[in-house]
Amino acid sequence: MLEELRIQNFAIIDNLTLEFAKGFNVITGETGAGKSILVDAVELLLGSRTDNSYVRSGTDKAVVEGVFALSEQAQIQIVPILIEAELIHDESEARFLTLSRELRANGRSSSRLNGVTCSAEVLREIGEALVDIHGQSAHLSLFKPRTHMDLLDRYADLLEVRSALAKVVDTLHEIRREMRKLQEDKAALERRADRLRYEVEDIDAVKLDAEEEESLMIELGRLSNSEKLAELAGESVGLLSGDEGSDDTIPAVDALMQVIQLLEKLVKLDPSLKDDYDLAQDIGTNAQELGINLSGYFDEIEHDPQRLTEVEERMDLIKKLKRRYSCETIADLLAYADKARDELEGIEHSEERLQELVKEEEKTLRHIGDLCERIAKIREVAGRALSKKVMRELSDLRMEQTRFEVIRERTEDPNGAYGRDGKRYKFDASGMENVEFMMSANVGEPLRPLAKVASGGEASRIMLALKRVLTQADYTPTLIFDEVDQGIGGRIGAVVGEKLWSLTYGHQVLCVTHLPQLAAYGDRHFHVSKEVKSQRTQSYVRLLDDENLRVKEIAEMLGGRGASVVQSARDILQDSEQRKTELRPPEKPQIQKKIL
């Protein structure tokens, strides 16, 4: 429930703090005093769109802050939202919430929850779970048939079932989108298949190996430099092992052998040279092995212009393929071919896929039809119950002759979902029927749409009757009614007040009203007035916490000041208190434990 509301520099409100009661809070005052501004402030607090015209002239910002105490039921709804938004870490932190909204004159705004900055979207989501506001024009929604289904489904507790239906309908849309894609342009698919087929054959014809590029680069380097390699290798072999045509130079290997022989003699004379002798033997052995290797390498080197041409052509072909398909490596080319092959296979099997989709579509349509029939059955039962309860409420509101019915209609559609009668009907995520509230205000008159039958006062009473019925199944903690008594005369004002007051068993109720008979039912009564001080208009709110103050306000609402009017006001207050006592459920007796 809303415990406290603080408002600064909002419209004609300078600085205001209100503490609301748990039950029925009424707000009265002259037209234009600022009663509905309080409701506007609450709407801003709960995430509505900002309007910098609300910022009091001469100030740079308006601030609205509300303190809410959460019941266990409210915590069940709100805690998951807070945890997901990372505004709290433990549900114990959500017993009280302080919401605040700051609106600057430049149009910028900021939102906070328990002092932590949050988005207006999160504030709006939390606000929808905390407060339900019924404004002066709320009854106009009754004239829009598209809202009737939501009202009925809310009463029937079908919103979660509709959410499940919506997911199945989304699945059907996906199936149909894929079917259209396959059916719309077969020629384009065939052209695409030809292109893919060419690309796969183009790459496959080269018979690529992901590892060959490196080996080709090495081979190309050897073939391109074969003469220079032969020259260098031959010279190296000559220095190590000698040249058969030259007797001038001692080969390096022979020289090392001579050094080893000399060291062998030295060791015999001086054993300390043993390590040097061993080292010389190792060097000699390695030199001999190196000579053999280089000699073999030299023998394998050949100048092969034909093989060089083959390697260059292969490298050029790979380079062209990489450029053609925008690939960096042979591995990328092979991956491109695999992807094209997969897409080609999908296109070549599109007819088979289309047949599969047709079967899936049929199955899904029947599933949707089953869900819609279940929803329709619940709506049928709920519609009858809703009609009876609304007519009972209307009877209390002096509309005894009114007939109210929930009409459900279907439209046949060759592409629609299957009904139990075998026919196919148009459908959407809400079901396969249209729902509309119909009424007849007079005996003998046929049922007609609300917009064509109800007057302003009748619409207000119908809206109130619906809200009465619907809010009994609603867990929103706080209900705000902004002049919903518009068009309702004083003769039934007490009935309206009684009905609004009865909502307090399960809800906190705030009501802005002009009807004294309604205001008399308030558990806490606020009076709004405005004064001009220092050439500025300012709105004030006063809690009427004294019986005499309430009597005076009710008398002024009745339009007089004489003793008879004051007595009438006092009688209205006494009658309402007596009626509240009669309607108040008896308290459960406390069982006293016996002391043994």
Query: What's the CA gap between 510 and 130, in Å, rounded?
Result: 13
Amino acid identity of 404? F
φ, ψ of residue 592 in degrees (nearest 5):
-85, 135
Neighbours of 381 (CB within 10 A): 10
| Report field, pTM of the whole predicted structure over 0.75 | no
Amino acid identity of 476? T
Rounded to 5°, the CA angle 412-414-418 comes to 70
Neighbours of 304 (CB within 10 A): 13
Amino acid identity of 398? R
Q: Nearest to residue 495, comparing CAs of 376, 426, 400, 588?
A: 400
Question: Using an 8 Å Cβ cutoff, are 406 and 389 in contact?
Answer: no
pLDDT truncated to tens, each residue of the chain (596 aa)? Answer: 999 999 999 988 989 999 999 999 999 988 888 888 898 899 888 888 888 888 998 899 999 999 999 888 788 888 888 888 888 777 667 788 899 999 998 888 898 988 888 888 888 888 888 888 876 566 666 677 888 888 899 889 898 899 999 999 999 999 999 888 877 767 777 888 888 888 888 888 888 888 887 787 876 777 767 677 767 767 777 777 776 555 566 787 778 888 888 888 888 888 888 888 888 888 888 888 887 887 777 767 777 778 778 778 888 888 888 889 888 888 888 898 999 888 888 777 777 888 889 999 999 999 999 999 999 999 999 999 999 998 988 888 888 888 899 999 999 999 999 999 999 999 999 999 999 999 887 888 888 887 787 666 677 678 778 878 877 666 788 888 887 776 676 677 888 888 889 888 888 999 998 899 999 999 999 999 988 887 888 888 999 998 999 999 999 988 877 889 999 999 999 999 999 888 887 665 554 444 33
Contacts of 179 (CB under 8 A, 6+ apart): 354, 357, 358, 361
* Dihedral Cα 518, 520, 522, 527, nearest 10 deg: 90
Query: What's the CA gap between 96 and 411, in Å, rounded?
Result: 49
